[in-house]
Copies of this chain bind each other. A is one copy, B any other.
């Protein structure tokens, strides 16, 4: 049993879903680990991680619109010194979560057919984002 850790860096273009499935899978492949557990961890509080549909792009657009509706800008937040999109970003990050844990079999993450791993940028502007990835196995 062994483990490997890396940090992946992403430059986001602003609010939206960035698919990182291939980045994680590529690193898993290079590790040579065939059976185990992958943990993906987002090191930010205004960006987050989610697994969702990777086929129809309209699904991600609807998810973004829904998040905007449930945590709108300008909703009387006490914390607004970092801009009107900051507090909604923290709420959306809390809802979607920071960490994902995915079993690995035959050298591949056991994702379903339509599942993709997404880094979700919740701020209006693009940011440099870091995602820690840990793999354990043999």
Q: Which residues of A contact B (CB under 8 A)?
A: 1-3, 5, 7, 35-37, 39, 41-45, 50-53, 56, 58-59, 61-63, 65-66, 70-71, 77-79, 81, 87, 90-91, 93-103, 105, 110-112, 114-115, 130, 132-134, 136-138
- Residues A63 and B90 in contact, CB atoms below 8 Å apart: yes
- Residue ID in chain B nearest A42 by CB atoms: B112
A109-B18 Cα distance, complex, nearest whole Å: 25
- Residue ID in chain B nearest A96 by CB atoms: B94
Once A130-B112, A132-B103 are accepted as A-B contacts, the answer to whether A52 and B45 lie under 8 Å apart by CB is: yes
The contact sample of 9 A-B pairs, CB cut-off 8 A, is A37-B136, A45-B114, A51-B98, A52-B94, A56-B81, A65-B78, A95-B96, A99-B100, A103-B134
Once A1-B1, A103-B134 are accepted as A-B contacts, the answer to whether A61 and B78 lie under 8 Å apart by CB is: yes
